[in-house]
Amino acid sequence: MSVIEIKNLTKNYRKSRGIIDVNLNVEQGEIFGFIGPNGAGKSTTIRTLLGLIYPTNGSATIFGKNCIEHPEVRQELGYLPSEVFYYDNMRVMDLLKYSASFYKKDCTKRINELADIMDLDLKKKIDDLSFGNKKKVGIVQGLLHEPKLIILDEPTSGLDPLMQQKFFDLIGQENQKGATIFFSSHILSEVQKMCSRVAFIKEGKIIKLEKMSTLQENSYKRINIEAKSKITKEAFAINGVNHFEVKGNNASFIYKGNINSIMKKISEVELVNISIDEPDLEEIFMHYYTKED
């Protein structure tokens, strides 16, 4: 079952880029990564899902209901924005109880549990909190009603490494309880830890949608070689060689293809040393992001 279904979603802005023909399905219980640098279209996609902006064309549904036509779907949705803004004079607990009132249920026990996990002082005024602690308020606010779908937009900015790990553990627990997670980020290591599938967005368009396991499987290799004499780029000009960097007698590149083909090329060079490793997700991402359309 698709929790999120986006079809040919387009949002045009007059002076800045929006999104163009975005197509995505996020399945029940999935942790789905949405990856791209700032300005690529991640937040525009999310704001359309939330019904905060209207699309120019296409549609987006949550739990089978159109996001614009059925605002009630937001009752089952938890959202953590990249930046959080609050009424400064309110106490944390008062703000969270006010937020809980929109869901028409007593969330006091849940609020206390989440605050304890995130080490958040509920008695403090919002104005007295650091940016990181305001982010914790946003995390508790987004999860206090135990939503079935959790949308995260750059969720860890402002959190120290210890709190980041607590946050990831918390999201993992919510997923184990059945929540579906839509995780938007430009920090690739976060997505690598959490997600089962990932979509890359570039200049408002989806350029790749893939299982995380497929992205990291043996079809990609990071190859480093050291030769006895100077290496030329032309010597490795075959299909599958990308991001070739050469410095004198040393060369480094990512290869995808028949391993025998690249080994034949390498055998033509008198080697001093060689290493063949799995590339990290960032290198794979840059392969998709920087290649020509």
Strands 220-227 and 205-211: unpaired
CA distance 22 to 70: 21
CA distance 259 to 257: 6
By percentage, how much of the chain surpasses pLDDT 70? Answer: 93
* CATH classification code of 220-277: 3.30.70
Q: What is the DSSP letter of 53?
A: S
> How high is the mean pLDDT of the chain?
88
Q: pLDDT value at position 6?
A: 96
pLDDT category of residue 28 using cuts at 50, 70 and 90? very high
Helices (H) and strands (E) in the chain, counts: 9, 14
pLDDT category of residue 13 using cuts at 50, 70 and 90? confident
pLDDT digits (tens, 9 = 90+) for 111-164: 999 999 999 999 999 999 998 899 999 999 999 999 999 999 988 888 888 999
Q: pLDDT value at position 79?
A: 94
Q: pLDDT value at position 293?
A: 42
Q: pLDDT value at position 292?
A: 45
Q: pLDDT value at position 212?
A: 82
Spans of all domains in the chain: 2-215, 220-277
CA distance 49 to 216: 29
pLDDT digits (tens, 9 = 90+) for 235-259: 898 888 988 999 999 999 988 888 8
**pTM, two decimal places:** 0.78
Domain 2-215 has CATH 3.40.1190.20: no
pLDDT digits (tens, 9 = 90+) for 86-106: 777 889 999 999 999 988 888
CA distance 242 to 222: 10
pLDDT category of residue 219 using cuts at 50, 70 and 90? low
